[in-house]
Amino acid sequence: MDILNHLNPQQADAVKKTDGPVLILAGAGSGKTRVLTYRIAYLIMGKTIPPYNILAVTFTNKAAGEMKERLEKILGPMARDLLLGTFHSTGLRILRKDGHYIGIDPNSIVYDDNDQLALVKLCMSELNINEKAFSPRAILSHINQAKNEALSVNDYTMEAKDFFRQRTATVYKLYQEKLRQNHALDFGDLICEPIRLFREAPQVLEKYQKRFNYILVDEYQDTNRAQYMLINLLSAIHKNLCVVGDEDQSIYGWRGADIKNILEFERDFPEVKIIRLEQNYRSTKNILAAANSVVEKNTKRIGKTLWTENLDGELVHYQMARDEHHEAGLIYSKTEEIRKESGLAYKDFAIFYRTNAQSRIFEEHFIRSGMPYNIVGGLRFYERKEIKDAISYLKVVANPNDSLSLMRIINTPPRGIGKTTIDRAASFGAEQGIPLFDAFKLAIQKGILPQHKGHGFIVFLEKFKGLIDKLPIHELAKMLLEESGYIKMWEGEKTEEAEARIENLHELISAMRDFERNREKVSLADFLDHVALISDIDTFEDKQNRVTLMTLHSAKGLEFPVVFMVGMEEGLFPHSRSINGKNEDELEEERRLCYVGMTRAMKKLFLFGARERTIYGESRFQGQSRFIDEIHPQYLEIIDNRSHKPEVRSQEKEYPLFIPPFSKGDTGGFEEPRIVYDEFTDNDPWKIGMKIKHPSFGAGIIKAKEGMGADAKLTVMFPGTGQKKLIARYVSS
Q: Which residues are catalytic?
A: 32-33, 218-219, 249, 600
How is residue 469 annotated by DSSP?
T
Q: What is the CA radius of gyration of the chain?
A: 28
- Count CB neighbours of 450 within 10 A: 11
In order, the DSSP letters of 398-420 are H-TT-HHHHHHHTTSS--S--HH
Cβ atoms of residues 694 and 716 within 8 Å = yes
For 341-379, give one letter per residue: b (16+ CB within 10 A) or e.
eeebebbbbbbbbbbbbbbbbbbbbbbeeebbbbbeebe
Spatial separation of the C-alpha atoms in residues 494 and 492, rounded to whole Å: 6
Question: Is the Cβ–Cβ distance between 403 and 437 less than 8 Å?
Answer: yes
Q: What are phi and psi of 5, to 5 degrees?
A: -70, -15
Classify 617 as helix, strand or coil: coil
Whether 320 contacts 597, CB under 8 Å = no
CA dist 694 and 702 (Å) reads 12
**DSSP assignment string, 342-403:** H---GGGEEEEESSGGGHHHHHHHHHHHT--EEEESS--GGGSHHHHHHHHHHHHHH-TT-H
In sequence order, what E strands does 146-202 have?
A: 184-185
Q: Answer whether 94's CB lies under 8 Å from 208's CB.
A: yes
Cα of first residue to Cα of last residue in the chain, in angstroms, is 67
Backbone angles phi, psi at 568, to 5 degrees: -80, 75
Using alpha carbons, select from 84, 35, 63 the residue that is nearest to residue 244.
35
CA separation for the pair 135, 382 (Å, rounded): 25
The answer to whether 259 touches 300, Cβ cutoff 8 Å, is yes
Tell me how far CA of residue 112 lies from CA of 117, 119, 189, 684, in angstroms: 9, 11, 12, 51
Using CA atoms, how far apart are residues 340 and 157, in angstroms rounded to an integer? 62
Q: Return d(Cα 363, Cα 348) in angstroms, integer.
A: 18
Is 82:40 a contact under the CB 8 Å cutoff? yes
Cis peptide bond N-terminal to 574, omega within 30: yes
Question: Which residues touch 585 (CB under 8 Å, ≥6 apart)?
Answer: 253, 259, 300
d(C-alpha 596, C-alpha 553), whole Å: 8
With a CB cutoff of 8 Å and minimum separation 6, the contacts of 172 are 142, 143, 146, 153, 156, 157
